[in-house]
């Protein structure tokens, strides 16, 4: 597959200065000033919107504006790689936890267990924790399986809404982010198929968290988490 327009125009600058270009993309005035002074180019939202690889609504469906805006941002962030996306999806999943949703105790317990394992893994990314996360992900899939062919079933919807954000945040962290042969050549962040394929689980996280809050709230959390992630590494 051909490289994205974004990578052809800005790829070298993004790979050489990931934190600075990310902060500049997010609109940080200090970062923009430094980038301009050092002649480091960074993409804007206008640039991303001109690249079909980052289209959040390719079939022109009648989608909520805030959801399209949030999905667009997630697609843009794929350009800076998996570690950033893992960070923002955990923050999104924790939005649901903050709502302190009452309901089935087994689902509440599973949600808390997943989020705690995710926090542990962020602090200390060891294989043992990864295996535990994968097991919890499998438990989510097992619970939802009876309703997979009938997603409009009320019981299935309840399970989906309760588990989606932590469930797919776990999938994001345990995902195989490697570049596949059909994706194209390295770097992976330059390839449209890699971006689209690996943005599915993060989108589910955002959608799940937005059910209990709003797409606008999720969008704000993603932006803030992205900025924090970049500033801590800058």
201-212 pLDDT, tens digit per residue, is 999 999 999 999
Confidence band of 101 (pLDDT split at 50, 70, 90): low
CA distances from 100 to 7, 109, 203, 209, 213 (A): 41, 12, 22, 12, 12
Q: What's the start-to-end Cα distance of the chain, in Å?
A: 32
* Beta-bridge partner residues of 3: 191
Query: Is 152's pLDDT higher than 60?
Result: yes
Burial class (CB in 10 A: 0-12, 13-18, 19+), 222: buried
Query: Is 221's pLDDT higher than 70?
Result: yes
Q: Is the C-alpha dihedral spanning 29, 34, 38, 40 positive or negative?
A: negative
Question: Long-range contacts of range 184-189, CB-CB < 8 Å, 24 or more positions apart?
Answer: 184/1, 184/2, 184/3, 187/7, 187/11, 187/15, 188/81, 189/7, 189/14, 189/78, 189/79, 189/80, 189/81
**Residue 125: both structure tokens together:** 């990314």
Question: What is the Cα–Cα distance from 73 to 85, expressed in whole angstroms?
Answer: 11
167-198 confidence digits (pLDDT tens): 999 999 999 999 999 999 999 999 999 999 99
70-82 confidence digits (pLDDT tens): 999 999 999 999 9
126-136 confidence digits (pLDDT tens): 999 999 999 99
* Beta-bridge partner residues of 147: none
14-60 confidence digits (pLDDT tens): 999 999 999 999 999 999 999 999 999 999 999 999 999 999 999 99
């Amino acid at each position: 597959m051909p490289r994205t327009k974004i990578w052809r125009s800005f790829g070298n600058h993004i790979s050489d200065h990931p934190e600075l270009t990310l902060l500049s993309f997010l609109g940080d005035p200090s970062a923009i000033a430094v980038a301009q002074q050092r002649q480091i180019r960074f993409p804007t939202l206008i640039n991303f919107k001109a690249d079909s690889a980052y289209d959040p609504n390719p079939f022109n469906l009648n989608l909520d504006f805030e959801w399209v805006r949030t999905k667009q941002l997630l697609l843009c962030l794929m350009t800076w790689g998996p570690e950033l996306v893992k960070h923002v999806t955990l923050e999104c999943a924790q939005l649901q936890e903050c709502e302190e949703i009452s309901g089935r105790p087994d689902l509440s317990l599973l949600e808390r267990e997943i989020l705690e394992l995710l926090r542990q893994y962020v602090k200390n990314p060891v294989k043992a924790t990864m295996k535990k996360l994968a097991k919890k992900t499998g438990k989510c899939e097992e619970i939802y399986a009876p309703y997979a062919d009938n997603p409009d079933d009320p019981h299935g919807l309840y399970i989906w809404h309760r588990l989606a954000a932590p469930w797919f945040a776990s999938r994001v962290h345990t995902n195989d982010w490697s570049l596949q042969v059909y994706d194209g050549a390295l770097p992976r962040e330059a390839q449209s198929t890699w971006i689209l394929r690996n943005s599915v689980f993060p989108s589910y996280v955002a959608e799940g968290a937005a059910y209990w809050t709003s797409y606008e709230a999720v969008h704000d959390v993603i932006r803030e988490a992205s900025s924090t992630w970049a500033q801590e590494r800058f």
